[in-house]
Amino acid sequence: MEIVVNLVIVALIAGLTWALTSEGLWGAVLMFFNVLFGGIIAFNFYEPLAKLLDGTGIGWGFSDTLCLLALFIIVTFLLRLITESMAPAMVRFPSIVYQLGRLVFGFAGAVVTVAILLVALETAPVHKKILGVIDYKTQPPFGMGLDRKWLAFFQYTTGLVFAEHVPGSRDPFREYGDSKVFDPKAEWLLNHQEARPYGTESILEDAAGAGGGAAAPAAGAPGAAAPGAPGAAAPGGGKPGDIQVIGPAVGGGVVLPQ
């Protein structure tokens, strides 16, 4: 089933790439930036909008998904109208630049679009393992991890590019200073999988159990490995690559295995 889901995602990327390359180089460039900024704006405002929607008492569980997709579609459509009105004519380029450029920007626009659709799917109140395949450990398609890359990119934009500096706040990993950064503890995928209502897997409880496992040998004891050495126990118990629960002294939360 996993390979089927990955192939469907790849087919969707290929179809969107073909559609965007048919716009020519200039059209593909404009659509890439329309999609990129549409995604940034949608991701910036979907959570407050979903809270307002939930405040009406509907309580159906699809507020995050609906608001994220609606904002993305509406903003991208409006940006398309604006760019079409500002630059209605096709710009001429040398043949090699035209052919390569429309492929590059067509593919980039398709990848960004599919990444946003994957993230929107992960906000839906469905099974914890979407389609029986996608969970926080999966990196669809075929290990590319488009959803993770989009989340990392959006975190970067909130930390540096469009940063809002809040005196007294501190990024727990000290990468973005006092910026009000999105998902500072990298828990978005974990929290949304935990919030999905169907299925019995509890990611955070499993992580806590892994963090409270058997103690590692004391430093200097026979057989004890140096911290960071191959085979050394991960901080808090467990093995390298396990999910770790870190304490409040370093920000708290759950750390994904690298």
Look at residue 117 in the predicted model and tell me its pLDDT: 96
Burial of 238 (0-12, 13-18, 19+ CB in 10 A): buried
Look at residue 178 in the predicted model and tell me its pLDDT: 76
Residue 57 domain-assigned? yes
Residue 170 domain-assigned? no
Look at residue 256 in the predicted model and tell me its pLDDT: 45
Look at residue 132 in the predicted model and tell me its pLDDT: 85
Residue 233 domain-assigned? no
Residue 186 domain-assigned? no
Among 151, 176, 175, 185, smallest CA distance to 254 is for 185
Residue 116 domain-assigned? yes
Give CA separation, 4 vs 15, 131, 164, in Å.
16, 10, 41
Per-position pLDDT tens, the chain of length 258 = 889 999 999 999 999 999 999 999 999 999 999 999 999 999 999 999 999 988 887 767 789 999 999 999 999 999 999 999 988 777 889 999 999 999 999 999 999 999 999 999 999 999 988 988 898 888 999 999 999 999 999 999 988 888 887 887 766 777 787 788 888 888 999 888 988 888 876 665 555 555 544 444 444 444 444 444 444 444 444 444 444 444 333 334 444 444
Whole-prediction pTM value?
Answer: 0.75
Look at residue 225 in the predicted model and tell me its pLDDT: 45
Residue entry with tokens 């509907």: 58
Look at residue 205 in the predicted model and tell me its pLDDT: 56
**Three-state secondary structure string covering 78-130:** HHHHHHHHHCCCCCCCCHHHHHHHHHHHHHHHHHHHHHHHHHHHHCCCCECCE
Look at residue 251 in the predicted model and tell me its pLDDT: 37
Look at residue 179 in the predicted model and tell me its pLDDT: 82
User: Alpha-carbon distance 105 to 136, whole Å?
Assistant: 29
Look at residue 96 in the predicted model and tell me its pLDDT: 96
Q: Provide the number of structural domains found in the chain.
A: 1
User: Alpha-carbon distance 58 to 242, whole Å?
Assistant: 39
User: Alpha-carbon distance 148 to 107, whole Å?
Assistant: 18
Look at residue 175 in the predicted model and tell me its pLDDT: 79
User: Alpha-carbon distance 144 to 138, whole Å?
Assistant: 9
Residue 180 domain-assigned? no
Look at residue 232 in the predicted model and tell me its pLDDT: 46
Q: By residue range, what is the domain housing residue 10?
A: 2-161
User: Alpha-carbon distance 177 to 159, whole Å?
Assistant: 8
User: Alpha-carbon distance 58 to 52, whole Å?
Assistant: 10
